[in-house]
Amino acid sequence: VRGDVLFESDFAGTVRGFLDESVVADVEQVDGVAAAEGSISTVELTLLDSDDEPMGGAGPPTIVSNWTDDEQLASYQIQEGRAPEADGEVVIDRAATDNGGFALGDTVTLLSSEGREDFELVGISTFGSADSAAGAISVATTLTEAQTLANEPGKVDTISVRATEGTTPEELVANLEAADLGPDVSVVTGKEAADELSNDIKEGFSFFSTLLLVFAAIALFVGWFIISNTFSILVAQRTRELALLRALGATKRQVLTSVFLEAGVIGVFSALLGFVGGVLLAWGAFAGLSAIGVDLPTSGLVIEPLVAGRAIVVGLVITAIAAAAPAIRATRVPPMAALRDVAIDQSGRSRIRLLLGLLIGALGAFMITPAFAELPTSGDIPGVGLGLFAIIVAVLVLGPVFARPVAWLMGVWLPKVRGVVGSLARENAIRNPRRTASTASALIIGVTLVAFITIFASSASASVTASLTNGFKGQYIVQPVNQFSFTGVTPDAAKEIADLDGVADVAAVGVIDGQLTLPNGKEPTGIIGAGDPEAFTEVFTIDMAEGQLTDIDDTSMAVDRAVAAQDDIAIGDEVTIVSRSGRTATFTVAAISDEPNLLLPWTITRAAAESLSPELTDYQIGIKLDDGVDAASMRQPIEDVLEPYPNMKLQDRDQFEQGIIQQIQILLNVIYALLAVSIVIALIGIANTLSLSIHERTREL
């Protein structure tokens, strides 16, 4: 039993309304209910370890909730100690207990935006057989304490229900829906709730999954070249054999079928080996996650027959497609070829290939032009992606056309350096342009992607540097130690910093998560920034496309120019925001900010944000010092103000800049590692092609 959906958030998943705690008693009176327990949780607190350092990192969150006494309804079980019986007592999962250096009876500290609160550790729990729930830190206390920590006294977000013996989940749901539990209450079975949670987790990993699928596609693309080259060489080696078969009466269909059957056997066998390799890699990743503290219940790897079937089908299809062209060429071998030793490759002389390649390349160049526009939008991404793919296809089509002249040009120096050997090497590369081009293309794609990402990384880093240099007037930035932390700092901290001698201006940035209703009818979710417009303009340089940031008040907002262009938002339009607390407010667009800037896409005043989220906290504080004040001398006074908030860190301009660049570099390192796999595959393909080419020319050598 739970509240109705308020909105689906990209930041916090499904956001639902709270229920009055009194609903628990109503649920207990429904026929078929054996037990019911209300619960509430929050992720807006941080657990400090025994060294007073924030725990959690940039991974799974810290979840503070109430302890569930009914063992059949509880996700966690007590392994040591006991459950919390009074306010001020907590149970922590075993992984967090070990990582934090805690023991039963210790005093542990939870940090909220308002400050620190101490608790006694009375129990250690496990999530099934695992020490934690996928690395998330679990802190459980009493219901009243959890409600206080979540700033929702007298409320619950979920009511777990156990059915009486003989009552099916479907019957229980029907009984609960028939009861008068309130207008904003929804009921689902435990399985449905588990499936929803599983889908939320999958969506949380969707970016990483997409990234893996992209590089899997690249690896398959590169593998296609290797298979195609291999079959091309095999067909060339068996030219006389195939011609003899034709002379003996074999039809073109029989020759084609024989090559495809060979490809099918290789495809199925390779797919099975690849699937086994994937399972072993998944097992290694499973063990690696456990090693870094992301512990999962030991239910083993889930290997679905459908996944194995897909792997075999993909392997078979890729192999068949790669072998198609060589197989068709095999059917064109005339019987008289049995009297010849070699065939001449004319692929580099095709006018159709040249015209087709140029046409595809021109189309690709046209499709990527939005990327160079003054204000590209996310809607341009699919077209630009297709354009880049078209350019890659054009390079592949034109490869054999340019392989002969490029090989000749690059090999001019070989005879001078290596004599006859160099001449032979150059001529061998020139005489079969299709094979030369396809062999090199796999490596070209990998190197091209590495070069593109490297240039992109350099551009992104330079953009960050320029944005900070031109957009930030201050000397210090305060922000969370963990960038993905949900714990901010009380607005009082910014006020104390502003009162320090030597501080000229302070711009505190609060954020709320909400769903927006736009003039065009779209309902996206997003992060809305909040603060004092006057302070923003003093600490940050914010160029405006229309209006001024100081034009916004408690009933109006500023919008980023890219968002405004994408959704056709203009000055005077109205945007409605629904916050996580269920509060709603409508704002008039009074200003449109230019790019680049340090504002969030949506900006409202602090007072307006507090009307939507009364417990608004600051996640970033920009600090500008008085002229002539030594920045280094101000670090300690500011750090003294932040001492009660170890979840926040003070950074100067250089540290802030390097921190952002480091985040970009972490993602790039993952991409480089995945690209390296494709390049290794390409190198293996080149070695394979060269070895088969040598075998093909055994008599010549």
461 pLDDT higher than 70: no
**pLDDT tens by residue, 231-248:** 877 777 777 787 788 788
**pLDDT tens by residue, 569-620:** 999 999 999 888 788 999 999 999 886 566 788 999 999 999 998 778 888 8
Residue 108: exposure state from Cβ atoms within 10 A (0-12, 13-18, ≥19): buried
Q: CA–CA separation, 338 vs 354, rounded Å?
A: 32
177 pLDDT higher than 70: yes
Provide the pLDDT for residue 288.
66
Q: CA–CA separation, 162 vs 177, rounded Å?
A: 15
Q: Which of 103, 106, 85, 86 is nearest to 94 (CA)?
A: 103
373 pLDDT higher than 60: no
Q: How many CB atoms lie within 10 A of CB 159?
A: 24
213 pLDDT higher than 70: yes
Q: How far is CA 435 from the centre of its chain?
A: 38
Average pLDDT, the chain: 82
Give this prediction's pTM: 0.69
Q: CA–CA separation, 96 vs 110, rounded Å?
A: 13
Phi (first) and psi of residue 547, to 5 degrees: 70, -175
Q: CA–CA separation, 476 vs 478, rounded Å?
A: 7
Q: CA–CA separation, 40 vs 47, rounded Å?
A: 18
668 pLDDT higher than 80: no
Residue 645: exposure state from Cβ atoms within 10 A (0-12, 13-18, ≥19): buried
Provide the pLDDT for residue 236.
72
Close Cβ partners of 421 (under 8 Å, ≥ 6 residues apart): none
Q: Read off the amino acid at residue 300.
A: G
**pLDDT tens by residue, 273-296:** 888 888 888 777 767 666 655 555
Pairing between β-strand 503-517 and β-strand 574-579 as defined by DSSP bridges = antiparallel
Q: CA–CA separation, 115 vs 492, rounded Å?
A: 11
Give CA separation, 177 vs 4, 162, 180, 305, in Å: 13, 15, 8, 37
Which of 6-10, 383-387, 690-694: highest mean pLDDT? 383-387
Provide the pLDDT for residue 10.
60
Candidate from 98-107, 281-290, 534-543 with smallest mean pLDDT? 281-290
Candidate from 146-150, 456-460, 568-572, 669-673 with smallest mean pLDDT? 456-460
Of the chain, the percentage scoring pLDDT greater than 90 comes to 27
Which of 419-433, 601-615, 686-700: highest mean pLDDT? 601-615
173 pLDDT higher than 80: yes
Provide the pLDDT for residue 160.
92
413 pLDDT higher than 80: no
Tokens of 394: 């054009």
Q: Which of 642, 648, 615, 655 is nearest to 510 (CA)?
A: 615
Query: What are the residue ranges spanned by the domains of the chain?
Result: 2-204, 227-343, 469-659
Placement of tokens 């500023």 in the chain:
558
Please provide the size of the chain in residues. 701
Q: Read off the amino acid at residue 466.
A: A
Higher pLDDT, 342 or 104: 104
